[in-house]
Amino acid sequence: MGMHVTSLTVVPSLGMMRSFQIAFDLKGNALLADDSPHSHEC
């Protein structure tokens, strides 16, 4: 039973971490574009 509980809690955690990583990546890309407009122009 313990193993099942841990697996059930681990799956959502990974999903949340992945979504957070994607959000951070999007924010990072936006910041990079904001920091270097000349690079965005190219």
Please say if the pLDDT value at position 18 is more than 80.
Answer: yes
Annotate 17-39 with b (16+ C-beta within 10 A) or e (fewer): eeeeeeeeeeeeeeeeeeeeeee
Domain ranges of the chain: 4-37
Give mean pLDDT, residues 11-35: 79
User: What is the tens place of the pLDDT at every residue in 24-42?
Assistant: 888 877 776 666 555 555 5
Residue-level pLDDT at 39: 55
Task: Give this prediction's pTM.
Answer: 0.40
Residue-level pLDDT at 22: 87
